Amino acid sequence: MKLLRDRVAIITGASKGIGRVMSELFAQEGANVICAARTAALVNDTAARLTAAGAEAIAVVADAATEDGARAIVDAGVRRFGRVDTLVNNACDGGPTKAIQEYTLDDWLCTVNSCLTSTYLCSRFAVPAMIAAGRGAIVNITSMAGRRGIAYRVGYCSAKAGQIGMTYGLALELGRHNITVNAIAPGAVAGERIDRMIRGQAEIRSVEVERMRATFLERSPLRRMSTPEDISALAAFLCSDLARNISGQCIPVTAGEPAS
């Protein structure tokens, strides 16, 4: 039996990276998927791929960090599928790699809004639909940066720490409605975002890019980064009935690197 059979799942940031891979896995596991992102061409392509593979999926072009956008995402799911019972808050602009004295207010607001405000807004609008459905699962894709920090990434670290705190608070608040709330905290995840961050760290520290990349790999006893598939598999589990008694947790996925 498929892990997410008949679930109606919103995945934000579904246009690329973890969100795209997660959308594909959720569809394979039987979920009806609302793929949400700001970039029309990319998110429409994600939904089209799922539909072509036989899944039920729609694309919603919206900014999850705005009230109108977050409301539109949830409303689209309810209109198409009759309910929403699963939400993965994955949308996040990683923001720049800069020293604090160079980090502008616009940098801060863009990063914090895209990561943290979007998590708050999508949860705010999805919870009534979950209560009506009689069940729910919220998974927030945070980062180990929110637990132990990364130099020159003040906005990203702050936003991700905020997601973890929100996870704990919402789990306590929503348990009585049969809604679980958990967070996944990846370490380095292979892909375009970590490549961009490594280049930024190498530049600001005046070291070679490959030397900077090696420092990330050296932290892992497995000598590798995690993959979008690793994160997606855990999210699917946490949204399934197998995890019905797991709530209020922040689970690291670090390729063996100690979580603290």
| Mean model confidence pLDDT for the chain | 95
Mean pLDDT score, 146-150? 92
More confident residue, 193 or 66: 66
Going from N- to C-terminal start, the domains of the chain cover: 8-187+227-250, 189-225
Percent of the chain with pLDDT over 90: 80
Q: What is the pLDDT of residues 194-221, one digit of tens each?
A: 888 889 888 888 889 898 888 888 888 8
pLDDT of residue 207: 86
pLDDT(252) > 70: yes
**pTM assigned to the model:** 0.95
Mean pLDDT score, 98-118? 96
Q: What is the pLDDT of residues 34-54, one digit of tens each?
A: 999 999 999 999 999 999 999
pLDDT(232) > 90: yes
The amino acid sitting at 19 is: G
CA distance 124 to 27: 24
pLDDT(109) > 70: yes
pLDDT of residue 160: 97
Active site residue 168: no
pLDDT(230) > 80: yes
pLDDT of residue 260: 67
Catalytic residue among 120, 152, 156, 168: 156
CA distance 121 to 123: 5
- CATH class belonging to 8-187+227-250: alpha beta
> Which H, E and C letters describe the chain, residue by residue?
CCCCCCCEEEEECCCCHHHHHHHHHHHHCCCEEEEEECCHHHHHHHHHHHHHCCCCEEEEECCCCCHHHHHHHHHHHHHHHCCCCEEEECCCCCCCCCCHHHCCHHHHHHHHHHHHHHHHHHHHHHHHHHHHHCCEEEEEECCCHHHHCCCCCHHHHHHHHHHHHHHHHHHHHHHHHCEEEEEEEECCECCHHHHHHHHHHHHHHCCCHHHHHHHHHHCCCCCCCECHHHHHHHHHHHCCHHHCCCCCEEEEECCCCCCC
